[in-house]
Amino acid sequence: MDLKILQKKLEEIKKMGFVETHRSGNTGIGKTLEDLLKIKENNIPLPDIGEVAELKSYRKSAQSMMTLFTLEPLPQGGDRDRTLLDGFDFDAFKKRVKNDDIVADLRMYYRPDGSVRNHGTGFRVKMKKLDDCFATRLRLI
């Protein structure tokens, strides 16, 4: 899928209005969007949308952090941003880390038998600071 096709599909989804989530919890909005775009959930570190982009979605009102660079996978309706962030800026990323806007997230599972399993390491970013890590921001629809 190229950028023009993605924009067209997002316009079609927007016209649908409110769509009930296909999964409960924080990952529901991403799963629903992937389903509507006919993107197979894969949890691999490659672009979801052809060679265009890795799909990331969240509720605009979310106060939590978004996971970046990892293998781990409320309000109704309304207008939402559909934005392509491009040109990852490593210096801006480092600045966000220093300001605690981005944190390393170590996920461990404590088993009932007392042993511990590593569930992976990822970076999490404050939603409102995500744009700061990229050189360009293109509104898709």
pLDDT value for 140 = 77
In a 13 Å sphere around the CA of 134, the CA atoms on its Cβ side amount to 14
89: left (phi over 0), alpha (psi -120 to 50) or beta: beta
> pTM above the 0.75 mark?
no
Q: Which of 124, 27, 121, 108 is nearest to 67 (CA)?
A: 124
Report the alpha-carbon angle 138-79-1, nearest 5.
45
How confident is the model over 91-102, as a mean pLDDT?
Answer: 89
Task: Give all domains of the chain, ordered by start, each with its CATH number.
Answer: 3-139 (3.40.210)
Assigned token pair, 1: 């899928």
| DSSP 8-state class, residue 69 | S
CA distances from 33 to 23, 51, 58, 60, 116 (A): 11, 18, 10, 14, 33
Beta bridge partners of 65: 126
Output 135 or 80, whichever has higher pLDDT: 135
- Could you tell me if 11 and 71 are in contact, meaning their C-beta atoms sit under 8 angstroms apart? no
- pLDDT confidence band for 91 (50 / 70 / 90): very high
pLDDT value for 66 = 65
pLDDT in tens, 19-68: 888 888 777 888 888 889 888 776 555 555 665 566 777 777 776 766 66
